[in-house]
Every structure is written in C-alpha cells, then in structure tokens.
Structure 1
C-alpha cells in the first residue's frame, strides 16, 4: 500500500475486548490505590485526633500551672511580709523545672501543710507539662505526615478515575447511579444479624460507587461492607486490609460461605458480601453502582472470606 507523503497511518481502533481487558487491569490497580488512600485517611484521622486530645490536655495543664504559679507567688509575698529571705524567689518561681523551689522554701522558713501540698502539685504539674507538649508536637507531626500521604494517594486515585471514565465512555458503559436510590428488597435465606446486613446492603443497590464513600449517597467496596455490618450492630474497620486483619480469627472457606460473610479478592483490593444462593452484593468500581451479581460471574480471584 502506498501512503502519500506527510500522511501518518492512524492507530487501529481498539476492540471492545481489548478495552474491557484494559479496564479490568485498571480497576484492579484502582482498588488497591483506593484502599491505600482510605488507609492513609484513617491514619491521618487517628493522628489528628491524638494531637487534638493531647493539645487539649496541654492547655488544661497550662491553666493548672498558671493557677499554681499564682499560689506560689502569693506564698512568696506572705513570706516577705513576715520578714522571710526571698532574694531567690524570682528565679525559683520562673523556673521551668522547680526542683530548687521547695528546698528553697524549706530554707526560708516554715510553711503550712496546705501550702506545701499546693507547691508539690505545682512541681508535679510543671514536670509533666513539657512531656505533654512534646507528645502533642509529635502527634501533630505524624498528622501532617499522614495528611501529605493522603494527598498523594488522592491525586493518584483521581488520575486513575479519569482513565477509567475514558475507557467506560468508549464502551458506552458509564453508569452514574442514583444517590437517592431506595434499592431492592432482600428476600434471601439470611437470618439474624446477617439478615439485617443484607437488608441494608440491598437497600443501597443502584447508588454510585464513590471512592472513599461511606454513604449514604454512595460507597466504595469496604465503605459498603462497613456500613452494612454497622446496621447489624457490628463495628468493622474502615478499609479492606483492616477488615481482613480484623477477621483473622473469623476466616471461613469459600466453599462454606453463609449469607453475610465478607468475601475478599486476591491482593485484598476488593471486598463483597455473600447474599446466599450463589450471589453477592458489592460496590464494584468507578462508573458502576452497588449491585447484586452471581459470585461465579465475579471475575476476580478470591483469597478468602470472614464471618463477622
């Protein structure tokens, strides 16, 4: 074939099969990145919460030390009025570590038991203040580090989502879902807590997959499993990895599945809920919705299951 000068051959248009294969690989990668993002987010919240608590305690101790310092100064004034030797008081009262304060007072003269107790409390609070401050600063540094990690993971997730949407558009298969979907009724064989889990999960059918989503307008895979089991009074950790680790003593064989069991894909990038009758309910990936499908059509290698 002769090609006119200056004309380039166009790349052949990918087949539907090729696009789907690329999308499957992208979805697997996105699952893992989203879970890392969720994990980093949870760690940031934990570090930030630790800092907030320590900082609140630090502020309380600042107030306590300020009150006790005022009492120490009052003792000094009283001692001065009684003719005591207080030449070293300014240095003792202003010291960060008042080790010499009580011994100085002992040399200055007798003090009441009540005042001695207050001064001892001043010493104790002052000693603990620096540790509280250092711990709060460490917690804040950890929170900042986790925040940076979250931002990096989020940027990678957004990039992957953009690629997923392009491929879905090529397949004319992008499903935005309905955040207000009332789902479908569960009529399967589950009972007890598992029935509560599946009633909740089925009521979310049709809502969009949203990375980092914990409801009620959309979910990612572990967000759905966490919310569903919460409806049954069981508190699961947030991420797929954490849920798998949490269930270390609750693992069951895939061939022994019961309704409500959590099923994990190989690599722990995805988790779904067994609904009974060979079906699962799950939040698949970007461009899809919470849905019920046959486990046999799941299409991902499985690593195992847990029974909360």
Structure 2
C-alpha cells in the first residue's frame, strides 16, 4: 500500500485546477497586453491598407495598358487589311491587262499618267509597310508592359492576402482580450453621430462636421465607410467632404503633408495629428480635443488630446 499512499499524497499536493493550469491575467496585465497589441495592429493595418492601394494602382495600370494594347491591335488589323488590298491591286497591275495595256497606250500622255500612278502606288505601299512595321513594334511593347503590369498585380494580390491574414489574426487577439475585460464596443453602423460646434471654419469645418457625424460607428480595419472606419479612412473621407483630396493611408497622408507640417503648439481645428511610427492619425477638433477611429473593439469618438494614448510625431494642416 505504500505506493497507493504516495500517489494519494501527490494528488493532494497538486494545485486545484491541474498541475499545468496557467493563472488568468489580471485586468492590469490584460490592459497592458491590449495596449501593445493596439500598437502592433496600427502597423499591421497600415501595411494592409498600403497593399490594398498598391493593388488598386497595379490594376489601374494594367487596365490602361490593356486598353492601349486593344487599340493598337485594332490599328494593326486596319493596316494589315490595307496591305492585303494593296497586294491585290499590285497583282492586278502586274497582269497583262495592267502593264501591257498601259505600255501599249498610243498616247504618250496616258503612258506618263500610268507610270505616275505606279510610282504613287509604290510610295504609298512603302509608307503603309513602314507604318505596319512601326505599329507592330508598339504592339509588342504594349503587350510586354501589360503582361508585366498583370504580373505586378498578381504579386500585389498575394501581398494583400498575407497582410490581411496578419490583420485578421491581430483583430482576433484584440477581440479576445477586450471580451475578457468586458470592454468590446460593437458600435452602431447607422449612428448619426454628433453635431460639430467647435471653432473651425471653411473647409476645416466641413471636414470636422463630417467626422463628428461618424461618432459611434465601429472601427473596422480597412474601413472607408459608411458603416465603419479605420483611422486614415475616416480622415480621408472627412477632408474629402472639406474639398481636399488626401491619400488613403497614414504613411501617404504624412508624406503628402511634408510641406504642410505645423507645430503641436500651434494646432488649429482640422489639423491632422500623427502617432510615432505613422500607424495612427486623428483630427484636432479644437478646445484640446480630437476626433478619431481608435482601434478594434472601439468606435469613432471625440476625446481629449491628452488621452490620445499614442506618442505623437507631428501634425499636418491640409
């Protein structure tokens, strides 16, 4: 019985829940992990958005080149038809009824006119042959360009799929943590938001009025509205409403504003505020507040700039 007694003692010494059960993270630990995940998600989402924009450009390039290719095909087909017609005419001119009939003309004037016609046809044939040859060269170039653009689009599509898979995984982790904290906010895609009553005027006021009308709608990575937004999608659409065309991603928006940067001490309503690493962008609303689409599990909201929660790298005035 000593063996049985030893086993019983060992079982009594095991912690409740099993020897290998991991302790649940505390609320503070979960929040810290979520903060780190949100920082990582900013970068992952922007890479996804960049890949999406790259794919759009590659597709547009291919469609343009393919259109050129089709037009060039039609031009070559027309020239080819002209060459066939000319070959038939040349054959007929070379027959007895053509050459012999012309040479045997008793009237010298008619003979000269006939020779002039032959010379004109020869020149025209040479020009048509040259045009056909040149058109074929352009056709080959266009075909190669279109093929390269299509290959580029295919590669970018793969890049987008990889970025999306990473973003999906990140969102899943964020959502799981938020649910543990009972902090997941699904938002309302049909939210009518808030009315902007801040100090902005002109284009900036139009941009902020649009952004405030989105308050309460869910954050969605890759979101460009109307039912959900990511940070740069919200900014782009808001300033479009203000009559300014911004690029799609935070990195591109920051680059676009290279000559429009302003000091954080001189912020005006409507200015764009970028986080360190360029993974997030918000809009200054005046009065020390910003409007932005924060991250997964949250909604478009207006908060104090002091609670931004991200290290700021700079600001741009559209």
TM-score by length of structure 1 reads: 0.89
Q: CA deviation at 1:122?
A: 1.8
Residues 1-308 of structure 1 aligned to structure 2 (within 5 Å): 2-3=13-14, 7-8=18-19, 10-83=21-94, 111=121, 114-308=124-318
SS in 2 for 1:304: strand
Q: Distance in 1 between matches of 2:290 and 2:172?
A: 27
Q: Deviations over 1:123-154 (max 9, x none)?
A: 22112110000111111111111111000000
User: Following the alignment from structure 2 to structure 1, what is the Cα–Cα distance between the partners of residues 176 and 246?
Assistant: 34
- Summarize the Cα distance change of 1:276–1:4 in structure 2 as closer, same or farther, 3 Å threshold: closer
Match of residue 98 from structure 1: none
Cα root mean square deviation, aligned: 1.8
CA distance in 2, matches of 1:293, 1:148: 38
Please say which structure displays the higher CA radius of gyration: 2
User: Cα deviations across residues 60-83 of structure 1 (Å, max 9, x unaligned)?
Assistant: 111110111011011111111111
Cα 1:127–1:5 shift into 2, 3 Å: closer
- Stretch of structure 1 that moved more, 134-143 or 115-124: 115-124
Gaps of 5+ in 2: 1-11, 96-117
Distance of 1:79 and 1:174 partners within structure 2: 82
Following superposition, the deviation at residue 117 of structure 1 comes to: 4.2
> 2:308 and 2:17 mapped to 1: Cα distance?
48
Distance in 2 separating the partners of 1:4 and 1:172: 28
**TM-fit CA distance, 1:110:** 5.4
Within 2, Cα distance between the matches of 1:141 and 1:113?
42
**Which runs of at least 4 in structure 1 moved beyond 3 Å after TM superposition?**
4-7, 112-120
Match of 1:93 in 2: none
Cα 1:198–1:163, aligned 2, differ >3 Å: closer, same or farther? same
**Other structure's SS at 1:122 match:** helix
1:13 positional shift: 1.7
Number of positions where the alignment pairs a residue of Structure 1 with one of Structure 2: 285
Normalization by structure 2: what TM-score? 0.86
